[in-house]
Amino acid sequence: MSSQPNHRGVLVLGTGLIAQELATAYRHLGWNPTTVPYVSEVETLSNWSHVAVADPDIDTAALQELTEQAQRESAQDSGVVIDADGTIEGNAEALGGPRVVPSVRTCMMTADRAALRATADDELGLPTLAHELVLDAGEVDDAADRIGFPLVIKPRHGSEQNIVETPDELAEADLLNPFAEDGVVLERYIDFDYEVTILTARSVDPKTGELATWFCEPIGTRHVAGKLVESWQPAPLPDGVRDNAHSIAARITGALESYGLFAIELFVDGEEVYFSRVLPMPGLAGMLTRATQRLDQFALQARAAMHLPIDVTLISPGASQLVRHVAATPDHLAKAMAVEETSVQVVGENVLVHCTGESVEEARARAARAAAALEK
């Protein structure tokens, strides 16, 4: 028999800033969060009524095993007959098992770039850049010829990337040396106009009792060498681009069949909008929502998971810059905070600068000045 779950307890799985902020959001709603960095450190989920995943690279196989174990324990406690092969009828929530947000299935699909692209392409017909999953090092050159140069190499699991422009660069690419056992994805590279992230919250609407989707104002992003350096909200989008972005976001999150906050990353080239990936939890691009929205991304994630009212109201235009590997001395921080409407957040060796303004342009200019002050 399993122990009784803590009905006000939330197990937050993950490390670092995202897990800490998410735990705080649950605490503000009267829940008792416990943060554990790795699934391997958890013996059972039966002690928890809710599990919040805060790590996109979580060990999904171990999480699935723990979830199924909790289902079996809950079934036994409820007097449900378990088949000889260990299967049970119904779902974890119906049997009193923990609610895992995002769901294990969602974590598995979004962590596997090939599986996610198969869903986006084959099932949903979303616009994506040409790509191929390569499972053998000997097939890389042929796949590259079909994709064409320049192209981007991405791991099947993980967020790194290499942009290569020639066959010689391809042969020397870090992500091919050594070649990953689970393969890599080669993707066509285009010099797109800009990137945009659509934050969506999916939950049960308390007014109707039906599953619904809420869209935050679009977030513009800028990356250097595949790493986020700047974000701003709202990102000005033409009506057609905005409609296409919302359509893509609604369709991919609907296919994932989970509650919570989703960050859908898109490329925009003229009027064309291409799906890139989806993160089923808060991330760096949404950090600026603590300055721009009535409810930041962490509050939205916690509310969506608990089926509480959702509010995506934008209260101010804003912008953020992530300054990496900087000495966050009191003097440097003071200079950055001296810029109008600026707050700073130290994250290890990095500093996030959040600025608001009367317009996005003003907020971005302030963020640039504050970031420069940190680097002097």
Mean pLDDT calculated for residue range 44-55: 92
pLDDT tens for residues 153-211? 999 998 889 999 999 999 999 999 999 999 999 999 999 999 999 999 999 988 888 89
Q: Sheet holding 99-101: strands in order across?
A: 32-36, 6-13, 48-53, 99-101
CA 41 centroid distance within chain: 23
User: What whole-number distance in Å separates Cα of residue 335 and Cα of residue 56?
Assistant: 34
Domain total in the chain = 3
Q: Which amino acid is at 132?
A: E
Spatial CB neighbours of 356, under 8 Å, sequence gap ≥ 6: 291, 292, 316, 317, 318, 341, 363, 366
Q: What CATH number should be reported for the domain holding residue 261?
A: 3.30.470.20
Q: Closest by alpha carbon to 202, among 60, 124, 306?
A: 306
Report how far apart, in Å, the C-alpha atoms of 275 and of each of 116, 127, 128, 196, 363 are.
11, 6, 5, 10, 27
The burial of 202, by beta-carbon neighbours within 10 Å (0-12 exposed, 13-18 middle, 19 or more buried), is given as buried
199 and 51, same structural domain? no
Residue 139 domain-assigned (yes or no)? yes
Predicted pLDDT of residue 319? 98
Spatial CB neighbours of 82, under 8 Å, sequence gap ≥ 6: 72, 75, 76, 88
Q: What CATH number should be reported for the domain holding residue 177?
A: 3.30.1490.20
Q: In the listed set 140, 165, 188, which residue is the last one of a domain according to the structure? A: 188
253 and 177, same structural domain? no
Is-contact 15 55, C-beta < 8 A? yes
208 and 175, same structural domain? no
By residue range, what is the domain housing residue 51?
Answer: 6-101
pLDDT tens for residues 235-290? 999 999 999 999 999 999 999 989 999 999 999 999 999 999 999 999 999 999 99
Is-contact 86 114, C-beta < 8 A? no
Token digits for 298?
A: 């962490």
pLDDT tens for residues 61-104? 999 999 988 888 877 665 544 444 444 444 444 455 788 999 99
Token digits for 373?
A: 């002050």
199 and 139, same structural domain? no
Mean pLDDT calculated for residue range 318-324: 97
Q: Alpha helix locations (H) across the chain?
A: 16-28, 60-77, 104-111, 113-118, 140-147, 167-172, 239-256, 289-292, 297-306, 330-337, 360-375
Q: In the listed set 173, 188, 203, which residue is the last one of a domain according to the structure? A: 188
